[in-house]
Structure 1
């Protein structure tokens, strides 16, 4: 029987949903993060449960041909990216298999075979938003990622997912900070100033810098550092100081003070100009987001005549794109600032057939129906937990012919597809999209139609 700290040899058979490799030791399942099918490994067992164990790689005995590097194997080696050890075509292959597996196991669709995952044009440096915590290492101020399952920060020479401009700014900022010795926040003692750095960039290579500090007022030395940063990097169009003196894991403070430049930077999607502020919800990988939205819109039949509900609309990105074609869009979102951003964007872009409704989807959908508003179809883009059963019941009650469902979590998506099928709906089209290369995340878009 395996126990913690045992060192064993194992061959990896497959990658399971969630992105970990699975192998067997004397017929006992062992999950190994950062492992690849066909890897032969020496691992150390870190936990043992009734039916499975977990282990970390100590050494690669024989590397899988799908590996990018046979000498690197830790989470930290790959900059905190849990799929970066795989060649890109293999990442896509396993994402496809993961989606098929949950659709079989959870949705009960035994014979499902999906199209290839839509690859991302950029597989590195695609993120337009990054947040890194500050820490001190070797009496130097660093930023980086938290080590797996800990709050210890490790530094990387370059964040492989951050935009190139974002990386340039972080590098320069650290150099300035280390010359100006400013204290770094310690979450155990709740002392020190520097908490996090957030950088947002757009397709025009412009940046917004937000520095989060443990204070309830702006300190002059931080302001001075940031203005020095602006002088070094001309692409910076906006600088905020965010005040967060709470003992919390929430990064952004309640007060964000603009100390330089524009209130927001802009991003253009399908001819619509979106404002991005420190707290805006916005797709991380814009090129892929455009493709995702186009697929979703093409799933609708005769969109020109339709009254559509955009449920969990965020700032209404997809709602506004649809509004350019549809008769009318109702965008429902629970976060007030996101709805307000949407109203502003629609106004600025002259889109007048979209109505923003601030509230919970479950409640506001019922209100629309009770007010006899015409609804032909709904597009869902819910959080990771998926849809409430009451919403699926409502769709069936309304006898909607079709709905489009965008999901960032294949397992809750598969569960919801099963619930839809119990209400007389079936999955007609399914496309997986790689929004986050180098990670095990995969986005799916589905067309669900009434069959009886």
Structure 2
């Protein structure tokens, strides 16, 4: 194997032409065969980039100057900060090109990961969004202080520092107004003994952490201010009371006390003023949204997505009043949106959701909407699904999982119970393709795929798919139990020994099986159950180093496992 020379270092500036956009949204260019990934870049761009990180097989860089823009790049460059831009990695692309690249990325993961023959399934073109900017109904921004002034912003790609973006393409106009008013209030104390302190995550000091603003279609607002401990709690409470009294659009205010340092935004929520929830309406149904509740951030586009999912599920009943006589499960049901929208033509719907507040909200919403054929269960899907399948005659399941996809044990339950039809709504094409491959190997056929652009200006893709069991009258039904396989479908790509050999040869690094397993799990690859676990209660598990993690990911890409 020929090794590509790597003579590059952080801070170095290079000229590069972008060849393609890879899964995840970054542009890829090469210098003498050495790969450089550049966010906010477009195929055809000729750029000057500054290297921000260097690995043995690739580097990452940020744009410092556009030498010659691609024809697919937007013309108004003043709105884009090339170094960082509010997570809008497709913000520099013309919208029609955003849709085109998302279609290509979806096709790539279906062929490479799920090993699907695209000629044998119906893949629709991505459904574009009517609202391309300012569509988010939920915004969370960290506080930082610059020149004595408190601001909100976004985390930098270079570090965990916070910066203020020139313009935000995603957050709603009402959220911008509310955040600006709040900042004016807290900055009125600047230079006094009551000056608000901003949280410092390095030494765990300070008070103000983040502000979250949620709004509904009527532009009614919920404010949640996240703080560290209670040092300036009473002072902040008075500021928020003033905000509530002065702004009719503000319907709910919370303070969330969060002392733990992790990636979860909210801590212990304390309700201060107004209602405990926001109310949103969809298709005649009214939903209650609490601080922790899941609700689609792009409501208008969510309606299109749900319409596709419901049509997939009800295709046999189309244009009739026929009631589907079997039970349908809405797995990962959130606040119950899909379950309640399905209930019109379904005899019984059961929603499963792990977040207790979302489950309670769903139960209350179904009661207030006089829906009597929907039941909601609080718990993890992998634990509750087998129980429900034992007691109910289930004909179909709607899965709408988080980015990690569906747990292997839940897929096993589907296979063992020979569920007739699956509608899979995915926010991560990679884990979706992984799950589809497992189902396909166990008697399911991928029939229809419709991507929906829920998140314009970003590389994220939401996909609605229909899978069904093979027709028993036309096929021999062979049941393959997942626990009888030596390897999962993803693991069968390459053995641990092959991965180790590849990394040793290319990077001159030795990696353990444990490290490979950790990175596989991190990348969403399903691992089989390990039965030879240590019996020690407080065992210390070594964690993979960043350098070895990148080498393992390179190997997984080489073997087309990610």
In the other structure, the counterpart of 2:211 is 197
In the other structure, the counterpart of 1:92 is 99
In the other structure, the counterpart of 1:4 is 9
Deviation at 1:351, TM superposition (A): 0.9
Give the Cα–Cα distance (whole angstroms) in 2 for the partners of residues 381 and 165 of structure 1: 29
Over 3 Å counting, the alpha-carbon distance change for 1:248 and 1:410 in structure 2 is: closer
Instruction: Give structure 1 stretches of 5+ with no counterpart.
Output: none
Bigger shift: residues 224-233 or 313-322: 224-233
Bigger shift: residues 36-45 or 268-277: 36-45
The answer to whether structure 1 residue 397 and structure 2 residue 397 are counterparts is no
Q: Is the CA contact 2:197–2:206 (under 8 Å) kept in the aligned structure 1?
A: yes
Over 3 Å counting, the alpha-carbon distance change for 1:247 and 1:26 in structure 2 is: closer
In the other structure, the counterpart of 1:207 is 221
Q: For residues 197-244 of structure 1, give each alpha carbon's deviation from its aligned partner in whole angstroms, at most 9, with x where no partner exists.
A: 111100111111111222247733212211222344221111112222
Query: How many corresponding residue pairs?
Result: 450
1:30-69 correspondence runs (5 A): 30-68=36-74, 69=76
In the other structure, the counterpart of 2:447 is 428
In the other structure, the counterpart of 1:269 is 282
Q: Is the CA contact 1:47–1:54 (under 8 Å) kept in the aligned structure 2?
A: yes
Q: Is the CA contact 1:379–1:404 (under 8 Å) kept in the aligned structure 2?
A: yes
In the other structure, the counterpart of 1:252 is 266
Bigger shift: residues 387-396 or 399-408: 387-396
Give the Cα–Cα distance (whole angstroms) in 2 for the partners of residues 111 and 345 of structure 1: 40
Deviation at 1:189, TM superposition (A): 2.5
TM-score (normalised: structure 1): 0.94
User: Partner of 1:327: helix, strand, or coil?
Assistant: strand
The answer to whether structure 1 residue 29 and structure 2 residue 38 are counterparts is no
Q: Is the CA contact 2:80–2:91 (under 8 Å) kept in the aligned structure 1?
A: no
Bigger-Rg structure (1/2): 2
User: Partner of 1:376: helix, strand, or coil?
Assistant: strand
Deviation at 1:431, TM superposition (A): 0.5
Give the Cα–Cα distance (whole angstroms) in 2 for the partners of residues 7 and 36 of structure 1: 18
Give the Cα–Cα distance (whole angstroms) in 2 for the partners of residues 53 and 245 of structure 1: 36
Deviation at 1:149, TM superposition (A): 4.9
The answer to whether structure 1 residue 295 and structure 2 residue 308 are counterparts is yes
1:223-372 correspondence runs (5 A): 223-254=237-268, 256-300=269-313, 301-302=315-316, 304-305=323-324, 306-371=326-391
Give the Cα–Cα distance (whole angstroms) in 2 for the partners of residues 391 and 258 of structure 1: 36
TM-score (normalised: structure 2): 0.76
Over 3 Å counting, the alpha-carbon distance change for 1:310 and 1:340 in structure 2 is: same
Over 3 Å counting, the alpha-carbon distance change for 1:276 and 1:75 in structure 2 is: farther
Q: Is the CA contact 2:256–2:267 (under 8 Å) kept in the aligned structure 1?
A: yes
Q: Is the CA contact 2:40–2:92 (under 8 Å) kept in the aligned structure 1?
A: yes
Bigger shift: residues 110-119 or 29-38: 110-119
Deviation at 1:65, TM superposition (A): 1.1
Deviation at 1:70, TM superposition (A): 4.9
Instruction: Give structure 2 stretches of 5+ with no counterpart.
Output: 190-194, 318-322, 476-562
Over 3 Å counting, the alpha-carbon distance change for 1:277 and 1:71 in structure 2 is: closer
The answer to whether structure 1 residue 155 and structure 2 residue 164 are counterparts is yes
User: Partner of 1:324: helix, strand, or coil?
Assistant: helix
Give the Cα–Cα distance (whole angstroms) in 1 for the partners of residues 81 and 200 of structure 2: 26
Q: Is the CA contact 2:79–2:167 (under 8 Å) kept in the aligned structure 1?
A: no
Q: Is the CA contact 2:386–2:410 (under 8 Å) kept in the aligned structure 1?
A: no
Give the Cα–Cα distance (whole angstroms) in 2 for the partners of residues 109 and 273 of structure 1: 39
Deviation at 1:397, TM superposition (A): 2.2
User: Partner of 2:151: helix, strand, or coil?
Assistant: strand
Q: Is the CA contact 1:75–1:81 (under 8 Å) kept in the aligned structure 2?
A: no
Runs of 4+ in 1 over 6 A off after TM superposition: none
Bigger shift: residues 74-83 or 342-351: 74-83
Bigger shift: residues 146-155 or 42-51: 42-51
Q: Is the CA contact 1:312–1:334 (under 8 Å) kept in the aligned structure 2?
A: yes
Give the Cα–Cα distance (whole angstroms) in 2 for the partners of residues 103 and 137 of structure 1: 46
Give the alignment's Cα RMSD to 1 decimal.
1.9
Bigger shift: residues 342-351 or 218-227: 218-227
Give the Cα–Cα distance (whole angstroms) in 1 for the partners of residues 82 and 340 of structure 2: 39
More strand by share: 1
Give the Cα–Cα distance (whole angstroms) in 1 for the partners of residues 92 and 182 of structure 2: 29
